[in-house]
Structure 1
Amino acid sequence: MLDFIYYPVSFILWCWHWVFGHVFGESSGVAWALGIVFLVWTLRAIMFKPFVKQVRSMRTMQEFAPEIKKIQKKYANDRQRQAQEMQKLQREHGFSPLGGCLPMLLQIPVFIGLFHVLRSFGNSPNENYFFDASGVSSYLQANLFGAGLSNFITQPQELLERYGAGDRTAVIIVSIPLMILASVLTYLTARHSVERQNPASATAQTAIMNKLTMYVFPIGVLVFGFFFPIGLLLYWLSNNFWTLMQQRFVYKRIDREEEEKKTAAIEKRTNLAPKPGAKPDTAKKRPGTAPAPGAKPAPNAKAAGTPKKPAPGAKPAPNAKAAGTARPKSGGNTNKPTGSASTPNGAANKDGSTDSGLSADRSRNKNTGRKKR
């Protein structure tokens, strides 16, 4: 049913056993142990890019955790609207919750495939997917310090002897250290992941998951290690070791990238800011500033001092002269007399004097400007 998983796992194990079998011997326990370890590391290397995407997606979700909480609080009674707003936020910032679960989900079929392939060595003595009868016999004869790779601590004595173990003590001596190391690495991996979390994104569910990964899972490795074959314990140990090293490497790489972005942004702001003691840029002139000498006036620009026309219907200001009234030139005969009201030509004023200027003005012809003869 799951042959599409079993065959690839069996093929990768066959390749690595062929490599190390030429060095340590085909039936050597070291060759088979290294084959299992490098099988795990090969599969994890294939899943390296999804793991990086997982870390980036988790970091992005932690950055926008306050906004997610606001949406959950705002639409607490409207689940449909809450889901729509969450999807909108995810599309805008390009992160997905499934991206953080994908590498973990991919490890499940790998674990199932390896468990089935290792168990099949004892159930099918003639062949095991890519292994023929000699390959199956080689696996069953291999042992580490007197314990077969298919043995486990709680295994019946008959099966212990059948799968190459001379004594249960040898199985315990080999299995217990592998169980402890696998449990410790599981705890260190979980603690490193929890330390990298943003406190602002912490929720009740997050706290529960942190406790599960930091305490329950390591204890589970110890408990289930009594029922796991030595070959599967090697898988668990090598997988947790890879996860811890990969996690540290990826987080350092992402931290370095973010630090470089911050440094570049600071340098950019520094370059745009004016230097200390430098005068501000005066290229832009304020409104009303006189034009530079020799500069041409702008088209349709009004000359300075030109009186503005009053708006239609506006009343003139008191004592203001009518627009367009020209001042008379000084020294001419067009000056209006000052003083008392005008009198007829040759008539005397009250003080007995005559106004010759007024009679001279009146003697002018309005149309020709000549004096009457």
Structure 2
Amino acid sequence: MGFIGDIFGFIATPLYYAISGVLIAWHKLFTALGLDPTGGASWALSIIGLTLVIRAALIPLFVRQIKASRNMQLIQPKVKELQKKYGHDRERLAQETMKLYKDSGTNPFASCLPILLQMPIFFTLFHLLNEAARKEEGKGFLTDALAQDFGESKIFGKVPLAESFWGAGVWREGGGDGGVMVLALILVLAMTATTFFTQRQLMSKNMPADALSGPYAQQQKLLLYVLPVAFGLGGVAFPIGVLLYWTTSNLWTMGQQFYVIRNNPAPGTPAFKAKQDRDRAKAAKRGSVLEVEETPVPEVEQRRPATRQQPQRQSRASRKKPQTQKNQKKGGGS
């Protein structure tokens, strides 16, 4: 356990400094704007600001995720052909599938990168809150005094940011805290719902018909139902500050994905057709004709200039023959 703890500490130490640094910077900003430095509002808004900074830094990975997801969708017909051809040989099927991924530049794990990279941040923030609330000890740039303020801060005047639904339950010694339980439950439901609708949005609007069946579709359906349930069950143990971070992150993901699907949908999807309809409507209002990808372009027959017939090359003997016949006629006539 000590070895595992050392590894976690080695990984988490730079994250403690990064997270606490951004958190304190936002806290100083909101304090300068007139909020109570020991109040829950300033710390809650600082957590939201921290989330926005982290998600903005992850935009390049989100772009890679979108490209990987789109490539996975577009190669699904080829994947199905491989399954029909090598369905009896799993080893050969796996080899050919990986070759297809490599040739098309598709990484099936790239779609999970934003979530995987957020998990260390998520657990570091969880540990930062827990240490501040339970031991009043700071980590990174968070001093013990700030950790005490952070751990004791309350939003709406009575709901501690460091408390969780499970920790405030009525089954605990001394009774429960109804305010904490209600707010935590609202955030857990919001976190679960945003996770579900984000995945549902992707499947219903930005996946072609060919990608709605097969292993990739099964993977997406698994994420659709398993992730919300996992977050919902685990969320009852998360502090309200962590729930606030994850819900804000999910709202960012939903808005970001909505923008991409609306403005740059994958070909052959309902979102792509909807964008074409919007483009046609805009073109009709402008009184112009808009060419769309589905409109067949007539082939223009190009007239080629008439080929000039080149004279056939004659041998030297052939050129001499007419001249000899002409001389013979002259001699016979004289």
TM range (shorter): 0.7 to 0.9
1:212 corresponds to? 222
1:135 corresponds to? 146
1:175 corresponds to? 184
2:114 corresponds to? 103
In structure 2, relative to structure 1, the CA distance for the partners of 1:285 and 1:302 (3 Å cut) is: farther
Identical amino acids, percent of aligned pairs? 28
**Shift of residue 153 of structure 1?**
2.4
Say whether 1:18 aligns with 2:35.
no
**Shift of residue 219 of structure 1?**
3.7
Distance in 1 (CA, whole Å) between partners of 2:230 and 2:244 is: 16
1:150 corresponds to? 162
Candidates 301, 307, 318, aligned match of 1:286: 307
In structure 2, relative to structure 1, the CA distance for the partners of 1:79 and 1:323 (3 Å cut) is: farther
The secondary structure found in structure 1 opposite 2:79 is helix
In structure 2, relative to structure 1, the CA distance for the partners of 1:135 and 1:244 (3 Å cut) is: same
In structure 2, relative to structure 1, the CA distance for the partners of 1:138 and 1:323 (3 Å cut) is: same
Distance in 2 (CA, whole Å) between partners of 1:168 and 1:61 is: 47
Q: Please, which runs of 5 or more residues in structure 1 have no aligned partner?
A: 275-279, 290-297, 310-321, 336-368
The 8 Å contact of residues 152 and 227 in structure 1, kept in 2 or not, is answered as yes
**Shift of residue 244 of structure 1?**
0.2
Per-residue CA shift, 1:274-300, capped at 9, x if unaligned?
6xxxxx535x323648xxxxxxxx7x8
In structure 2, relative to structure 1, the CA distance for the partners of 1:243 and 1:94 (3 Å cut) is: same
Distance in 2 (CA, whole Å) between partners of 1:161 and 1:32 is: 28
Per-residue CA shift, 1:115-148, capped at 9, x if unaligned?
1111111233242322112201211331122110
Distance in 2 (CA, whole Å) between partners of 1:28 and 1:199 is: 51
- The letter for the 1-side match of 2:303 is D
**Which structure: greater helix fraction?**
2
The 8 Å contact of residues 168 and 180 in structure 2, kept in 1 or not, is answered as no
Candidates 246, 254, 263, aligned match of 1:244: 254
The 8 Å contact of residues 152 and 162 in structure 2, kept in 1 or not, is answered as no
* Rg larger for: 1
1:189 corresponds to? 198
The secondary structure found in structure 2 opposite 1:217 is helix
**Shift of residue 26 of structure 1?**
0.8
- The letter for the 2-side match of 1:285 is A
In structure 2, relative to structure 1, the CA distance for the partners of 1:240 and 1:87 (3 Å cut) is: same
TM-score normalised by the chain length of structure 1:
0.67
Distance in 2 (CA, whole Å) between partners of 1:170 and 1:78 is: 58
- The letter for the 2-side match of 1:281 is R
Distance in 1 (CA, whole Å) between partners of 2:106 and 2:155 is: 46
**Shift of residue 192 of structure 1?**
0.5
The 8 Å contact of residues 21 and 28 in structure 1, kept in 2 or not, is answered as no
Instruction: For 1:1-373, list aligned pairs within 5 A.
Output: 1=9, 2-22=12-32, 23-145=34-156, 146-155=158-167, 168-195=177-204, 196-255=206-265, 273=300, 281-282=303-304, 284-286=305-307, 288=309, 301-302=313-314
Distance in 2 (CA, whole Å) between partners of 1:155 and 1:193 is: 35
Distance in 2 (CA, whole Å) between partners of 1:184 and 1:88 is: 37
Per-residue CA shift, 1:31-72, capped at 9, x if unaligned?
111111121121111111111111111111211111122223
The secondary structure found in structure 1 opposite 2:17 is helix
In structure 2, relative to structure 1, the CA distance for the partners of 1:124 and 1:78 (3 Å cut) is: same
The 8 Å contact of residues 6 and 116 in structure 1, kept in 2 or not, is answered as no
Aligned-pair RMSD on alpha carbons? 4.0
